[in-house]
């Protein structure tokens, strides 16, 4: 079946512009995670959604970053007034539920990522 | 603060040799993952280790977990060029508001040469 998809696959933007990154999770997956992979910081967690709610936004690096999820499905990560340090690969992952439920553990499936370059 | 540390960060190996990548983590977790990443690609899940003493093998790769020492190892046997990639370990948050969140190690860039 279809996996996690992300769009665009590559995005080049000028410093100061806003960008939107999209994640389509696997159908029926209630948990959705955004991670960022950059040269300086490695792979780091940004935000986690359970349904349309975000119980943990602790990884968002500044108030220029925001994310939403609608209909318990598609999520959009928005970066306002982009800076060069925002250049990174943004990975999205989804799982049926977050972690464990009813004694059954559920794994995350990663999308291909969006490579963002801020010039 | 939850920390996951890998070493070495860079590993240059000769084909046919054996080597081990180490992953230490700072707090208990209900599972540990090993991922492979090829350049320009996403993460490919290699192993999920659940309990103390767990050992899993796939081809030339073998992963083990010691939860008491908070240590996992990824052992490479008789390396071949196709194993060249970046390898990440990660632990899963087992509760709280970020249930399921993964914390990653820095990654080990493995290069296998003739």
DSSP string, chain B: ---EEEE-SEEEEETT--EEEEEEESS--S-EEEEEE-TT--EEEEEEE-STT-EEEETTEEEEEETTTTEEEEEE-S--GGG-EEEEEEEE--SGGGTT-EEE---EEEEEE-
Q: Residue B30's pLDDT is what?
A: 78
CA dist A49 and A71 (Å) reads 12
Assess whether pLDDT exceeds 60 at residue B20: yes
* Closest approach of A34 to chain B, Cα-based (Å): 10
CB-nearest partner of A108 from B95, B100, B103: B100
Q: Which long-range contacts (C-beta less than 8 Å, at least 24 apart) are formed by A85-88?
A: A85/A38, A85/A40, A85/A118, A86/A116, A86/A118, A87/A38, A87/A116, A87/A117, A87/A118, A88/A36, A88/A37, A88/A38, A88/A41, A88/A115, A88/A116
- Taking the Cβ of residue B109 and every Cβ of chain A, the question of whether any pair is shorter than 8 Å is answered with no
Asked if B41 lies within 8 A of A56 by C-beta distance, the reply is no
Q: Residue A1's pLDDT is what?
A: 57
- Taking the Cβ of residue A30 and every Cβ of chain B, the question of whether any pair is shorter than 8 Å is answered with no
Asked if A33 lies within 8 A of B45 by C-beta distance, the reply is no
DSSP 8-state symbol, A97: S
Give pLDDT tens digits along chain A (119 positions).
Answer: 589 999 999 999 999 999 999 999 999 999 999 999 998 788 999 999 999 999 899 999 999 999 999 998 999 999 999 999 999 999 999 998 887 677 777 889 999 999 999 99
pLDDT in tens, B28-70: 887 899 999 999 899 999 999 988 889 999 999 999 999 999 9
Q: Residue B85's pLDDT is what?
A: 97
Q: Residue A104's pLDDT is what?
A: 73
């Amino acid at each position: 079946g279809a996996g996690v998809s992300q769009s665009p696959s590559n995005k080049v933007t000028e410093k100061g512009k806003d960008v939107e990154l999209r994640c389509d999770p696997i159908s029926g997956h209630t948990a959705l995670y955004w991670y960022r992979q950059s040269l300086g910081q490695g792979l780091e967690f940004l935000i986690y959604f359970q349904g349309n709610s975000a119980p943990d936004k602790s990884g968002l690096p500044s108030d220029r970053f925001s994310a939403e999820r609608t209909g318990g499905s598609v999520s959009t990560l928005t970066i306002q007034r982009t800076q060069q340090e925002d250049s990174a690969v943004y990975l999205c992952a989804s799982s049926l539920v977050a972690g464990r439920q009813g004694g059954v553990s559920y794994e995350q499936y990663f999308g291909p990522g969006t490579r963002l370059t801020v010039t | 603060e939850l920390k996951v540390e890998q070493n070495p960060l860079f590993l240059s190996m000769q084909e046919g040799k054996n080597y081990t990548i180490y992953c230490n983590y700072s707090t208990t977790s209900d599972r540990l993952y090993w991922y492979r990443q090829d350049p320009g690609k996403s993460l490919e899940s290699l192993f999920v280790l659940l309990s103390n003493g767990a050992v899993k093998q796939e081809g030339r790769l073998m992963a083990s977990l010691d939860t008491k020492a908070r240590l996992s190892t990824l052992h490479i046997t008789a390396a071949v060029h196709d194993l060249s990639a970046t390898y990440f370990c990660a632990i899963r948050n087992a509760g709280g508001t970020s249930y399921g969140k993964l914390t990653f190690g820095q990654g080990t860039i493995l290069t296998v040469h003739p």
